Amino acid sequence: MEGVLWVLLPGFVAVATGLLVWFVMQSRMDVMLAEERTKLAEERAVIEVQKAAVSASMEPTIRAAEESAKRAAFDNFLGEIHVEQRHYTRENRMLAQNRRSLVLQERMYFRNIPLSDWIEHEITLDDGADVDRMVQGMTVFDKGVVSIADVQRPRKALA
């Protein structure tokens, strides 16, 4: 019995020492982890404060940059829209009358993509009228846009 005690006692002491070392190391690791979490929380708070300060001071600058980019993109878009125009004269002969008219056709393009179909206008010409001069001042797309508020609606008759 004494021999078994001398064999088991060192084993028991080794296991107990191992458990004690494991608990001590575990508690040290928990303390280190808590310290690291505290440092991390402090750093996150500092970053959040800096981020809030930067966003408050940079927000107008960012908005201005976005607006200028949108404006530049819109100006580029409008710069690539053009109107193609063609014209010819048409003569209508009816009995004793010879009526001459100018046919003006226009079409809007974005780069080389047509945005509209040909829009045609027929203008009656007087004798001796200068066709080239009339065509220069006429276009559909330069006229002002009519507001819906300016259009008068027909009134219904009261029955």
For the whole model, what pTM was predicted? 0.43
What are the pLDDT tens digits along the chain (159 aa)?
888 888 899 999 999 999 999 999 999 999 999 999 999 999 999 999 988 888 788 888 888 999 999 999 999 988 888 888 888 888 888 777 778 888 888 998 888 899 889 888 888 877 666 666 666 666 666 544 444 444 444 444 444
The helix/strand/coil state of 152 is coil
Predicted local confidence at residue 37, as pLDDT: 97
Bridge pairing between strands 81-94 and 113-114:
unpaired
Distance CA 66, CA 60 (A): 10
Predicted local confidence at residue 146, as pLDDT: 40
Predicted local confidence at residue 141, as pLDDT: 61
Distance CA 85, CA 141 (A): 11
Predicted local confidence at residue 137, as pLDDT: 63
Predicted local confidence at residue 128, as pLDDT: 66
Distance CA 58, CA 123 (A): 58
Pick from 79, 82, 98: nearest CA to 90 = 98
Distance CA 105, CA 125 (A): 16
Domain spans, the chain: 1-79, 82-142
